[in-house]
Structure 1
Amino acid sequence: MDFRDRTMVRLADPEQRDRLFDQRSLENLVAAGYETAADVTGPYRAAFDELRLGVRLDRPVTAEGGWSAPGGTRQEGRFTLTGLAAGPTADVLWRGSVTVRTGAGVDRVGAVDAAPHAPADGPELTVRYRPGAGAPRPVVLPVLAALLVRESVRPADLLAESRALADALGALGAAPAPGPVPPAPRGRAQVGWLVPPAVFDDPDWPGGAAAAGPAEQRAARAAAAGRLLAAQGIALLVVPDTATSQN
């Protein structure tokens, strides 16, 4: 089996699935789907409520029409049909969540000072706040992501394929819904690239110039690519290839 087949088999196995995604990959997934300006940190923990392999995302088709019996009142209808227009295929469709930690807390009022001489338009108060204390609290972020497994990467082609997948998920109303707590979703469906570390041996990827050796350069390029892709709503998920690691 090649890298794609091996990875799909590991994804299908619940015992191996959790070990596929390291902390950097889950961080990339969160950054691709959510505004992470909030104080979001790890450890990250993935949950797989549903994981389907080889899913075609058929585009819905809307049909409108009208009919009436002779001499009767005209009736109109609008129908949404699926299965008529073939859409792109995701290697994996993951519905679940990622649990993160956030330090966002509630500040407490420390003191209220009244001005010694109230101005003519009313009393003047100065409110001093005491920052909220306590450990970061866990927040569960919904995830619905279409994943593409690739042993090699042609960025231009894969970006176009990813955009088609994101559009198909959005047309199905499948983007994560806004939640009551930060961070806020970016409002678009997530797409993830599962690739082996060897992809970033290519010196054309940015980020590796300042690294010392080949392993450090590979890691630096992967980190830089993860940041660039997250801004496009794409999560970079670097998956160790078991066949390579055993050689």
Structure 2
Amino acid sequence: MDFRDRTLVRLADPEQRDRLFDQRSLENLVAAGYETAAGVTGPYRADFAELRLGVRLERPVTAEGGWSAPGGARQEGRFTLTGLGGPTADALWRGGVTVRTAAGGGRVDAVDAAPLAPAEGPELTVRYAPAAGTPRPVVLPVLVALLVRESVRPADLLAESRGLAGALGALGTAAVLGTGPGTVPLAPRGRAQVGWLVPPAVFDDPDWPGGSTAAGPAEQRAARAAAAGRLLAAQGIALLVVPEAAAA
């Protein structure tokens, strides 16, 4: 089997699935999905409430039109069409990522009032003292379309990812990304996201940024992967580099 087949087999196996997602990959996933705040840290843990392989995402299409017989009243119609096909994800992950945060544990340190225009009233600035104690675990819900690729052509994969993200967003996933019990109220970047599962060897290519100051090949590879993870997270895409042990 090639890398893609091996990875899909491991995704299907609950006992092997966790080993595909190391701490850096889960950190990238959180950064791609949420406007993270200071104090959100690892260790991270993935929760796979549902994972389906080979998912075709059909986007409903709405058509509007009108017609009338000669001399008759005009009729109008609105139709929702399904079954027209759509982008395909190698896997669809619905679940969450557990993070650690001290959010909500601080106390109000000071309140300042600055006068604005008389009709608007004063503006209040509230300052919080840093929270003390052990960071508490919270769950960030995720809905991720996974693409498994042994090699990467960024332009093509970015275009494919945009189509997947749009199809997922049209499915009405607000409940998945809500702020229910045990979650932290971080602002999501979008209703859903896309993750790229790739082998470390992808970042042997010197055209990836970030590796120019690293000492050796392994360090250069890691530096390029870290830089790519940050760049892609800003686009709502999670870079999930499959660890060497799982890739073999």
Is the TM value for this pair above 0.5?
yes
Alignment of 1:218-233 (within 5 A): 218-233=221-236
Is the alpha carbon distance of 1:133 and 1:148 closer, same or farther for their aligned partners in structure 2, counting shifts above 3 Å?
A: same
Check whether the contact 2:95–2:141 (CA below 8 A) recurs between aligned residues. yes
User: Could you say which residue in structure 2 is the equivalent of 1:87?
Assistant: 86
Q: SS where residue 10 of structure 2 aligns?
A: helix
- What displacement does 1:77 show? 6.6
- What displacement does 1:133 show? 2.1
User: Could you say which residue in structure 1 is the equivalent of 2:22?
Assistant: 22
Instruction: Render the CA deviation track for 1:99-121: whole Å, top value 9, x for unaligned.
Output: 11112234335799xxxxxxxxx
The aligned amino acid for 2:193 is Q
The aligned amino acid for 1:226 is G
1:186 to 180, 186, 189: 189
Check whether the contact 1:3–1:241 (CA below 8 A) recurs between aligned residues. no
User: Could you say which residue in structure 1 is the equivalent of 2:217?
Assistant: 214
Q: SS where residue 59 of structure 1 aligns?
A: coil
User: Could you say which residue in structure 2 is the equivalent of 1:2?
Assistant: 2
User: Could you say which residue in structure 1 is the equivalent of 2:122?
Assistant: none
4+ long deviations beyond 6 Å: 74-77
Instruction: Render the CA deviation track for 1:77-118: whole Å, top value 9, x for unaligned.
Output: 7553421x2111000000000011112234335799xxxxxx
Instruction: Render the CA deviation track for 1:152-209: whole Å, top value 9, x for unaligned.
Output: 0000000000001001111122365342633211124200000000000000000000
Instruction: Render the CA deviation track for 1:33-88: whole Å, top value 9, x for unaligned.
Output: 00013421000000001101000101112245789xxxxxx9977553421x2111
| Alignment partners' CA distance in 2, 1:158 and 1:51 | 21
Is the alpha carbon distance of 1:129 and 1:97 closer, same or farther for their aligned partners in structure 2, counting shifts above 3 Å?
A: closer
Does residue 49 of the first structure (1) align with residue 49 of the second (2)?
Answer: yes
Alignment of 1:51-130 (within 5 A): 51-64=51-64, 78-83=78-83, 85-108=84-107
User: Could you say which residue in structure 1 is the equivalent of 2:12?
Assistant: 12
| Alignment partners' CA distance in 2, 1:132 and 1:21 | 30
Is the alpha carbon distance of 1:216 and 1:61 closer, same or farther for their aligned partners in structure 2, counting shifts above 3 Å?
A: same
Does residue 234 of the first structure (1) align with residue 217 of the second (2)?
Answer: no
User: Could you say which residue in structure 1 is the equivalent of 2:118?
Assistant: none
Q: SS where residue 52 of structure 1 aligns?
A: strand
Ranges in structure 1 where 5+ consecutive residues have no aligned partner: 68-73, 113-126
Is the alpha carbon distance of 1:6 and 1:129 closer, same or farther for their aligned partners in structure 2, counting shifts above 3 Å?
A: closer
Ranges in structure 2 where 5+ consecutive residues have no aligned partner: 68-73, 112-125
Q: Equivalent pairs: percent with the same residue? A: 86
2:198 to 188, 195, 200: 195
| Alignment partners' CA distance in 1, 2:2 and 2:151 | 11
| Alignment partners' CA distance in 1, 2:149 and 2:172 | 26
| Alignment partners' CA distance in 1, 2:128 and 2:206 | 51
The aligned amino acid for 1:105 is G
Cα RMSD between the aligned structures?
2.7
Check whether the contact 1:105–1:133 (CA below 8 A) recurs between aligned residues. no
Higher alpha-carbon Rg: 1
Q: SS where residue 190 of structure 2 aligns?
A: coil
| Alignment partners' CA distance in 2, 1:238 and 1:2 | 16
Count of aligned pairs between the two proteins: 226
Check whether the contact 1:40–1:103 (CA below 8 A) recurs between aligned residues. yes
Q: SS where residue 20 of structure 2 aligns?
A: coil
Which shows bigger deviation, 128-137 or 157-166? Answer: 128-137
Check whether the contact 1:166–1:189 (CA below 8 A) recurs between aligned residues. yes
